[in-house]
C-alpha cells in the first residue's frame, strides 16, 4: 500500500486540527497508508521571515531529520511547502551536508492539492457539500508553487458545490505572517479589499489551501458583521 507522511504545520496543529484530520481522511479514502511522525514541530518559516536565520536553520535541521526517510510528505499549506521546497536552499547554501539533505527531500514534499492531482492522479474523492463557495488564491501557493487551477478542479468534482469566482481572487489577504503584526493598518486595508470582493460573490463559504489566510479572512469577515464561513480545501474534500 502506498505510504505518505503528513506534516500538519504549526497553525493547523495549534488552531485548526480538524484540517489535519480531514487531510488524513481524504488520503486514506483514496488508498494511502498515512504516517504522522510525532517528532515534527515547525518548518522554520516564522523565524526565517523575521530574519532569525540561525534559529530557522535549527528548526529546519530538525524537520529534515524527522522526515528524511519519508516516501512522500504531504502538507496542508502552500506557505510551508514553499518554505521547505525553496527557502531551505537559501538557509543551507553554505552547509553542504544540509543542502544535500534539502535537495534529497525537495522532490518528496507536496502541497495537499498538488499531491492529489499530480501523484495520486485523483480529481474526484467522493466529496459532497451543497454550498456556494468562492476560492482564495494564497500568495505562496499561487506565486511560489504555481497552484491555480488544481484546487478548482478538485472543487468542481464535489457534488452539490457551486464555485463563484471573486474578482480579487489572486490579491493578497494581508496576512503575510508577521506582516499583519508589523503593519496592521496596511494588512487591514488589504483584508477589507478582499472581503468586499468576497461579499460580491454571494458565497456562503471561502475556501483556501492555507489556514493562515483563512484565519485572516475569517477575522475580517467577522468584523464586517458577515456570516460567511471559511473552510480549508481538505475539509471540503473530506465532507460526504
- What's the pLDDT score for residue 90? 95
- What's the pLDDT score for residue 181? 62
Cell numbers standing for residue 229:
464561513
Say if residues 234 and 23 touch (Cβ distance below 8 Å).
yes
- Report how far residue 33's alpha carbon sits from residue 31's, in angstroms, rounded to the nearest whole number: 7
How do the pLDDT tens digits run along the chain, 240 residues long?
Answer: 689 999 999 999 999 999 999 999 999 999 999 999 999 999 999 999 889 999 999 999 999 999 999 999 999 999 999 999 999 999 999 999 999 999 999 999 999 999 999 999 999 999 999 999 999 999 889 999 999 999 999 999 999 999 999 998 888 887 766 666 666 677 677 778 889 999 999 999 999 999 999 988 998 899 889 999 999 999 999 999
- What's the pLDDT score for residue 45? 93
For the chain, give every domain's residue range: 3-119, 132-238
**Residue recorded with cell 473552510:** 231
Q: What is the pTM of this model?
A: 0.94
Q: Per residue in 20-57, is it b (16+ CB within 10 Å) or e — as a string?
A: bebbbbbbeeeebebbeeeebebbbbbbbbeeeeeebb
Phi, psi for residue 168 in degrees, rounded to 5:
-125, 40
DSSP string covering 91-151: HTTT-HHHHHHHHHHGGGEEEHHHIIIIIS--S----B---EEEE---HIIIIIH--SHHH
Say if residues 89 and 95 touch (Cβ distance below 8 Å).
no
Cα torsion 217, 112, 8, 11 to 10°: value is -10
Domain 132-238 - what CATH class? alpha beta
- Report how far residue 134's alpha carbon sits from residue 154's, in angstroms, rounded to the nearest whole number: 13
- Report how far residue 103's alpha carbon sits from residue 7's, in angstroms, rounded to the nearest whole number: 18
In the chain the first and final C-alpha atoms are separated, in Å, by 24
**Residue recorded with cell 511547502:** 81
- What's the pLDDT score for residue 176? 67
Amino acid at each position: 500500500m502506498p505510504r505518505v507522511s503528513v506534516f500538519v504545520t504549526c497553525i493547523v496543529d495549534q488552531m485548526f486540527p480538524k484540517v489535519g484530520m480531514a487531510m488524513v481522511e481524504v488520503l486514506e479514502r483514496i488508498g494511502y497508508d498515512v504516517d504522522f511522525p510525532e517528532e515534527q514541530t515547525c518548518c522554520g518559516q516564522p523565524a526565517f521571515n523575521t530574519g532569525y536565520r540561525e534559529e530557522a536553520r535549527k528548526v529546519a535541521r530538525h524537520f529534515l531529520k524527522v522526515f528524511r526517510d519519508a516516501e512522500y510528505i504531504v502538507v496542508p499549506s502552500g506557505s510551508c511547502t514553499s518554505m521547505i521546497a525553496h527557502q531551505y536552499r537559501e538557509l543551507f547554501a553554505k552547509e553542504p551536508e544540509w543542502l544535500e539533505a534539502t535537495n534529497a527531500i525537495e522532490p518528496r514534499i507536496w502541497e495537499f492539492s498538488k499531491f492529489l492531482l499530480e501523484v495520486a492522479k485523483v480529481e474526484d474523492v467522493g466529496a459532497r457539500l451543497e454550498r456556494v463557495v468562492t476560492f482564495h488564491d494564497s500568495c505562496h501557493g499561487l506565486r511560489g508553487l504555481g497552484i491555480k487551477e488544481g484546487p478548482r478542479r478538485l472543487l468542481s468534482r464535489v457534488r452539490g458545490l457551486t464555485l463563484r469566482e471573486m474578482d480579487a481572487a489572486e490579491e493578497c489577504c494581508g496576512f503575510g505572517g508577521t506582516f499583519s503584526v508589523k503593519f496592521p493598518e496596511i494588512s487591514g486595508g488589504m483584508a477589507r479589499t478582499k472581503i468586499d470582493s468576497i461579499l460580491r460573490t454571494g458565497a456562503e463559504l471561502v475556501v483556501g489551501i492555507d489556514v493562515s489566510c483563512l484565519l485572516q479572512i475569517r477575522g475580517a469577515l467577522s468584523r464586517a458583521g458577515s456570516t460567511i464561513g471559511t473552510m480549508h480545501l481538505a475539509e471540503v474534500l473530506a465532507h460526504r
